[in-house]
Structures are given as C-alpha cells and as structure tokens.
Amino acid sequence: DQQVKQNSPSLSVQEGRISILNCDYTNSMFDYFLWYKKYPAEGPTFLISISSIKDKNEDGRFTVFLNKSAKHLSLHIVPSQPGDSAVYFCAAITTSGTYKYIFGTGTRLKVLA
C-alpha cells in the first residue's frame, strides 16, 4: 500500500527550462510534506518543505505547491541546472498515532546541458 506515489520514474529537461516533479498521496492525515534530493552514493539531502495549511512555499529556484483537495504536490525548479540532476524524493509526515516519514519512490531528474 503505497501512500506516497511518484508516478514518473524519470524526467529529462533542458538546462534553463522548468523542471516539474510530481507527487500524489492517499492519506488525508498527512500534515507536512518535504522534498529531498539524492545524488548517487550519498544520502538524501533536505530541499524544501510545506505545511498542509499552506499551498505554496518558495526558496530560491525551488517552489513547492500543495493541492490538498487533489492530494497532490509538485516541486518546480526554475531555471534548471545540470547540477540539479539527481533523484528527488517527496516525503509526507504523519503525526496520527505515531510520528513517521513516508517516502515516495523517487523521480530521477536529468538536466541536459
């Protein structure tokens, strides 16, 4: 039962263009969402987060949008750079009953120079 889904395993984007990574979730009890970036042979690094009471959070080139009614969030990277090439994981936090991160399966982004 995959509660957090990233349906696109991979995405290629031209340098300078916008990258849009998507994430869907099923559990309405999730109240906080995060995006992580992962390079090969390294651990994930935190990128940006959003509370369920907001619909947008921006940090430099990275913006996360949350659509609670659709149970959907997206990460926009503008402009995309070759160094952004990595695997991106979305994660949702539930505090209902316990405190746990649920990760998606990741989307591999390739930014072409």
User: Tokens standing for 17?
Assistant: 């263009």
Whether the ω angle into residue 79 lies within 30 degrees of 0, i.e. cis, is: yes
Region near another protein per CB under 8 A, out of 20-28, 53-61, 76-84, 93-101 = 93-101
Site of tokens 């990233």: 6
Answer yes or no whether residue 30 interacts with another protein by CB under 8 A: no
Tell me if residue 84 falls in helix, strand or coil. Answer: helix
CB of 69 to another protein, least distance (A): 22
CA distance 55 to 73: 9
Q: Which of 36, 35, 66, 70 is nearest to 53 (CA)?
A: 66
Burial of 7 (0-12, 13-18, 19+ CB in 10 A): exposed
Answer yes or no whether residue 1 interacts with another protein by CB under 8 A: no
Residue 46 or 55 having the CB closest to another protein = 46
CB of 1 to another protein, least distance (A): 12
Choose, by CB under 8 A, the member of 42, 53, 60, 83 that binds another protein.
Answer: 42
CB of 46 to another protein, least distance (A): 4
Site string for another protein, 46-65 (x = CB under 8 A): x--x-x--------------
